Amino acid sequence: MNSNITQENMHAESNEFLSFFLGEEHYALDIMTVKEIRGYETVTKIANAPSFIKGVINLRGDIVPIIDLRIKFSVGEATYTEFTIVIMLNVCDRIVGIVVDGVSDVIKLQDEDIRPPPEFGVAFDSKYLLGLASLEEHMVILVNIESLISSDELGLFDNHATTKE
Amino acid sequence: MSIDMEQFHGVFFDESQEHLADMEQQLMELDLSEPDPEQLNSIFRAAHSIKGGSGIFGFDALTGLTHIMENLLDRARNNTIEMTTPIVDLLLETTDLLKVTLDNYRNQEEIEQADIDQGISKLNILMTSLEDSTAQNSSNTGDDGDNDENENNEGVSGDLDGFGFFDDEPSDAHTAQIDDDDEDGFGFFEQPPATASEPENDENQGFGFFDTTPTETPATNAGNSAINCDTAPPADESIDKGYGFFPENEHPKDDPSDNKKGYGFFEKLPLPNAKSKKTSAVKEPKKNAAKSSTAKASVESSSIRVDTGKIDSLVNLIGELVITQSMLSQVSSDMPGEPNEKLQNAIAELTRNTREIQESVMSMRMLPMHFTFNRFPRVVRDLSSKLGKKVDLVIEGGNTEIDKGMIEKLVDPLTHLVRNSIDHGIEKTEDRLALGKAEMGTVILKAEQKGSSIIISIIDDGAGLNRERILAKAQENGMSVDVDMPDSDVWKLIFEAGFSTAEAVTDVSGRGVGMDVVRRNLEAIGGRIEIESSQGEGSSFNIHLPLTLAIVDGICVSVASQTFVVPLVNIIESVQPDPSQMKLISNDKLLWIRDQYWPLVKLHQKMQIEGAITEPSRAIVMLIESSNKRFGLLVDGLMGQQQVVIKSLEQNYRRVEGVAGATIMGDGQVALILDVESLANSVKANGMSKESIL
């Protein structure tokens, strides 16, 4: 599941997104980047890491960093309960887990359903957004998870994600 | 009609490389006063194999060189010429040239034709000078046809090298095979029409361009299949020596008396191949032939070439299995009740099995130290003759097994150390005699396994390190030294960059680059080096290496609720300090122990962990030694020693200061493996280096 596939999916007519909650806000990301969904488990802390990097966990032998976007973007409250969910993503040939408040649904969107993102008003910088979509009553914020995860802002990877093991 | 020969190139290169290494080794071992005919034979066969293969693939430079080499060797094994040191020298030189040429072909680089020609003419000159009236081959310069004929002529007189061109001349094949007891046939198989139609093949030299296995024919060339089917069985018998282009068939060394080797060009067919060989053996009237082909057949199945990538992934998977298994046993030990007992028994069984699997998978990555050591007789020979010293190299423990990845990385440091020992360690012959030492200097290269580490020692009986000179040199270089420093610290100075006490720079050593590189290279593979030396008696460099790269021996330590792994190699000892041992320097605590002050690194501070024990006298201090510093590491407690599988943090995340990697503990939790070197750097940052204290 590399960036090419993701890109192609972006351009396909109909795309599937996994929607999730951060606090009260409704977000969605390209389902092709999702590796799996798990419950939150104890992490091993990493020294000198920013607070939104919770630490690393063992995902069947891979050491995977866990990021709490709620802390990074100050949405909702960073609480960890038995219902706290971690979405394991496969982006840029890496595995990264993000903590969310809940996963709601898989939604199908046509290209014309997606509106351009607003310049302001959401927690994320608009460069990390694909657009907005309305689903029944709600507004869903479509996140370009790949550009977000590999962004310098998160500083997850050395050298702009170019170094691989 | 044509098959892609490229696919065989890789195999040819690999094998030729092995043959060359083998040849070199045999040449080195050759006892000139009484050459072992078997050894000469096997050198000859190696040259022959390379010649054969290179002929097929059209690597003419190799063919030309090996051809004349082969002629020379052939005479040597027929006792028409006597092996002497100059001959061995020239042959060694030629193997070097072959290596270079082989690499050139492999990398598709330009061939140094001038070198080749020079090599050939050197051999020719030697041949001519050794020429006696009976041999007419001296004029050969690499023209295959001629030579083969000549060789066959020789063969009539008892020792024939048949080049099995036996496509269409089965009767020839028979003849060749019948009056022959030491025959080397070639089973080539290429796009045969050209060769098959060549008239000269009708001569009594045959190049079996078809391999011996009848079943291969359809795959090779439909046009010739009829001939091949007819001739294959006799050809089979006549081919005495094979070029296993595929590993199953290739064991030239395993049975030195065995001149029958198969040419397995196809991996899929080891069985028919072996079978057909047996059949041939039955037809073969000679007893030894029958014996050797059976032996051959059994050997063929004993080895297989596997891509190292596959083994690596197996090693990884086993690592996972071990972790899963220990998770399982932890879960089961928490379970109450009677079914638990059965479960525990089953898990105990599983534990044993997984451990065995792990060991055997690990052993697949292991290679004997021979692979590294074997080059050193040559190094020592060349160097000692260059320096005019007499040096005897003793190799011990060549069977000690070590991770393949390390073998490759050990070559440079070891070469450097051995050269160093000969250049600086061993005295000149007259000096040795004056000192009442044996004329012959000795360098011992030794490998042994001690616990979970491998120790490789380079021991010489030379002059030993010169303490005064090292100290003087260190002062000259502006290093802070103390005349009362213990020897071990003085010896360590030579690993500093730019440090050389050699009085003159030679092309062997003395430039001062090297020892620091040696140390860095060794540290890169998790090793360290220690020196023992006594003046006038010699010195010993001991390299301590972990058994494998994938697993580290460590002590698990706890800090608050977190677990860390400290590599065992870095730990000197762990103590619970007495409050009286704690000293203060500008609010930083120092530990006074072993007649030294040790700066303290608080792990909880470094790793930003709350709730840890901060008072050293209630906690544990591990005395840690990195390559350049010593310090005490403050931790809450020790949890025990364990072998852990190293996992990369960078794969999904990035490098973290002070952390070498991560591992997964029995409970599935991740523990970080500390990087002692980078922790040590932070000691310096605080201005607390050992040097400043002393």
Of the candidates A47, A96, A156, which has its C-beta nearest B607's C-beta?
A47
What per-residue confidence (pLDDT) applies to A66? 92
Distances (CA, A) of B589 to B19, B220, B578, B615, B633: 62, 78, 13, 10, 12
State chain B's mean pLDDT as an integer.
70
**Residue-wise pLDDT tens digits, B545-578:** 877 666 777 889 988 888 899 988 788 888 888 8
Query: A70 to each of A23, A25, A39, B160, B164, how far by Cα in Å?
Result: 8, 11, 16, 83, 77
Nearest CA to B648 among B657, B637, B638, B659? B659
Cβ of A95 under 8 Å from any chain B Cβ? yes
Pairing of strands A62-68, A94-100: parallel
Average pLDDT over residues B426-443: 86
Candidate from A63, A94, A164 with C-beta closest to B670: A63
Measured at the CA of B255, the angle between CA B250 and CA B258, to 5 degrees, comes to: 90
Nearest to B662 by CA among B557, B564, B549: B564
Q: Does the pLDDT of residue B105 top 90, yes or no?
A: no
A65 — pLDDT class (breaks 50, 70, 90): very high
Average pLDDT over residues A20-31: 87
Given an 8 Å threshold on Cβ–Cβ distance, is A165 in contact with B653?
no
pLDDT in tens, B325-364: 877 877 777 777 777 788 888 888 888 888 788 778 877 8
Residue with tokens 């890789």: B10
Quick one: what percent of chain A has pLDDT higher than 90?
10
Residue A87: pLDDT band (50, 70, 90) is very high
Measure the N-to-C terminal CA separation of chain B; round to a whole number of Å: 79
Query: Which positions in chain B touch A55 (Cβ < 8 Å)?
Result: 670
Question: A56 and B669: CB-CB below 8 Å?
Answer: no
CA–CA min distance A158, chain B (Å)? 5
Is residue B264 predicted with pLDDT exceeding 50? no
Name the residue among A61, A157, A163 with its Cβ closest to that of B320.
A61
Among chain A residues, CA nearest to B651? A165
Residue with tokens 């060694």: B92
Q: Is pLDDT above 80 for B276?
A: no
CB contact, 8 Å: A14 with chain B? no
pLDDT at residue B557 in the model: 92
**Selection from B82-91, B127-136, B387-396, B475-484 with the highest mean pLDDT:** B387-396
Q: What is the mean pLDDT of residues A113-124?
A: 71
A61, B319: Cβ pair inside 8 Å? yes
Contact A63 B662 (CB under 8 A): yes
By the 8 A CB rule, do B228 and B210 touch?
Answer: yes
Q: What is the pLDDT of residue B239?
A: 40
B583 contact partners, CB below 8 Å, separation of at least 6: B589, B590, B591, B592, B597
What mean pLDDT, rounded, does chain A reach?
78
Q: Which of A111-120, B3-12, B437-446, B676-685 has the highest mean pLDDT?
A: B437-446
User: What is the rounded distance in angstroms from the CA atom of residue B187 to the CA atom of residue B265?
Assistant: 9
Residues of B in contact with A67 (CB under 8 A): none
| A-proximal residues of B, 274-333, CB under 8 Å | 316, 319-320, 323
Distance CA A134, CA B259 (A): 81
Contact A163 B652 (CB under 8 A): no
Burial B24-42, CB ≥16 within 10 A → b, else e: bbbbbebeeeebeeebbbb
**Chain A residues near residue B560 by CB distance under 8 angstroms:** none
**Once rounded to an integer, what is the mean pLDDT over residues A140-154?**
82
Provide the 8-state DSSP code for B168.
Answer: S
By the CB < 8 Å criterion, does A164 face chain B?
yes
Whether the complex's predicted ipTM is more than 0.90 is answered with no
A152 touching B (Cβ < 8 Å) = no
Nearest to B252 by CA among B74, B5, B21: B21
How many angstroms separate the CA atoms of B153 and B147, rounded? Answer: 10
Strand-pairing partners, residue B394, are: B444
| Selection from A120-134, B286-300, B397-411, B510-524 with the highest mean pLDDT | B397-411
Higher-pLDDT residue of B334, A121: B334
pLDDT of residue B279 exceeding 80: no
pLDDT band at B271 (very low <50, low <70, confident <90, very high): very low
d(CA B489, CA B484): 10
Nearest Cα residue to B186 out of B154, B158, B148: B148
Interface check B664 vs A, CB under 8 A: yes
**Taking CB atoms and an 8 Å cutoff, what residues of chain B touch A43?**
670
Q: Which CATH architecture has domain A3-160?
A: Beta Barrel (2.40)
Enumerate helices (H) and strands (E) in chain A, giving the number of each. Answer: 3, 10
Beta strand A25-30 pairing with B391-396 = unpaired
CA distance B625 to B638: 18
Mutation site, A42, A54, A56, interface B, largest B CB count within 10 A: A56
Residue with the larger pLDDT of the pair B636 and B203: B636
With an 8 Å Cβ cutoff, is A97 touching chain B? no
Amino acid found at B685? A
pLDDT tops 60 at residue B491:
yes
Closest CA to B58 of B155, B190, B179: B190
pLDDT for residue A121: 61
Q: What is the pLDDT of residues B607-640, one digit of tens each?
A: 888 888 888 888 888 998 876 678 888 899 888 8
CB contact (8 A) between residue A165 and residue B650 = yes
Pairwise pLDDT comparison (B115 vs B445), residue with the higher score:
B445
Q: What residue type is assigned to position B671 of the chain? A: A
Residue with tokens 């048949």: B162
B282-338 pLDDT per residue, tens: 443 444 444 444 444 444 456 777 887 888 788 778 877 877 787 787 777 777 777
**pLDDT tens, residue by residue, A91-102:** 888 899 999 888
| CB neighbour list of residue B53: distance below 8 Å, 6 or more residues apart | B12, B15, B16, B59, B243, B245
**Shortest Cα distance, chain B CAs vs residue A113, angstroms:** 34
Q: Is A63 on the interface with B (CB under 8 A)?
A: yes
DSSP code of residue B30: -
Nearest C-alpha of chain A: how many angstroms from B525?
17
Enclosing H/E stretch for B428:
none
Say whether residue A161 is in contact with chain B using an 8 A CB cutoff. no
3-state helix, strand, coil in chain A (%, to 5): 20, 45, 35
Q: Percentage of chain B with pLDDT > 90?
A: 1
For chain A, give the percent of residues with pLDDT over 70.
83
CB–CB contact A49 B672 (8 Å)? no
∠ CA B633-B638-B643, nearest 5°, is 100
- Select from B444, B425, B330 the least CA-distant residue to B377: B444
Contact residues, chain B, for A45 at CB < 8 Å: 562, 607-609
